[in-house]
Structure 1
């Protein structure tokens, strides 16, 4: 297979802009990390007009896909976790070309999982968890149990991923296999929600009770990155928060997260008078109980 694809990747490897080339081959009876293709060529480049360029090929009744990805796009995927398969590709792919050990160093960094990067990933995952959890609770209160179930399954998924990141692991595509080994308590919640023969309403009710404790016990660690940023100013308007280069990564989950943290007394509201009588600007700061913590 590599011999057939060699002319394709060699042309790219000869270009100064190319940082590394990996080939990921389809494995029989395995989870389809290659998106049904027999082979994936992952080519990382320094710069490109398009951050992602994909081309498909056919050969010997097989098919291959070439993904040309900029270094910036790859780093964004690894940071935000929006393309989990790329982690599998970097770990399991065979290196065909590696300029100045770019891919080697990337694998080392993934294995070491620096703590600062971990704090941000935990914050992003915690925000997604709260968004799904709060939406699930709202559906449950309105007796929309199937919609509540859908959101709670997703919230448990984010809770499992959060626990893995906290323990220094990158969540993989087969996340529940990891969670079962590392955080069996969360796995058991998920298993019982999905497999229990109890009525759905009762299953959800019990799960909310257990999840409240698990989420609360992880809140301070989950928002450490957010609090680090808030500590740099006395107080913030929400627009300043949403426009911050790092906090903007939290995207649509940010407002729900802040309301949850205000309710749980991790963030305090600072009100400032406006020109309108009885109307105040609503600003935010880290709660006093967190300000002195490192």
Structure 2
């Protein structure tokens, strides 16, 4: 399978390296200083705080030229418009793997509805200069599933091929028939959580403020109540039904965990703030059209 990974941040780097090492014909699209660094050293990976850095010589390109079986897009929500412009003249299938609550329609309106697939990467990490630091667990194990789906919920031959291609690399991909609802449910939780972490200055700081955690939980519950369909996965229903005190305690414990500290949740950059705001706008827009 010939693939293009569009976006050379944490997730694009992780996935392209994994696909390359599994023997796939994969290229990684990058620009500017990141492109130069990748050409010099390849994708550099390290597990959390380990001093050992592994280099993977993934081929890199600066522009999408087409001719791929699949283009997998790993960018922030507010960067998608620019990506769509660069993909509009191509014919390849495109799998969008990022936070997104606006549905497939605005994507398909630019590049063609028949080209669009939706998904979400079950992985995380941080950038340490040019080195991607990630947990040893995550998408490289069988414990965390990466949902991928057709916008209309069908299980198509191309979806089956894509899921199988990821599985052969050890990535636990699975077909999700309710991908749009899955993404909206995730955004309903992600936006209040991310914005609260950003305002506090990090997950550990937020954990130390139970009132802020409680306020964040109220916003999550409001978002979940505004969804036009039941939450997907169904486990998110617990955020609406379990006692507030119990949920606050669980969330504070999670915010202090290494999972939270060594994930994208620790990112309090302006870029993350912009992504969360764009995602919040998408949720508000979808709520108005109910």
Return the TM-score normalized by structure 2.
0.29
Bigger-Rg structure (1/2) = 1
Greater share of helix: 1
The TM-score with structure 1 as length reference comes to 0.28
- Which structure has more relative contact order (CA 8 Å, sep 6+)? It is 2
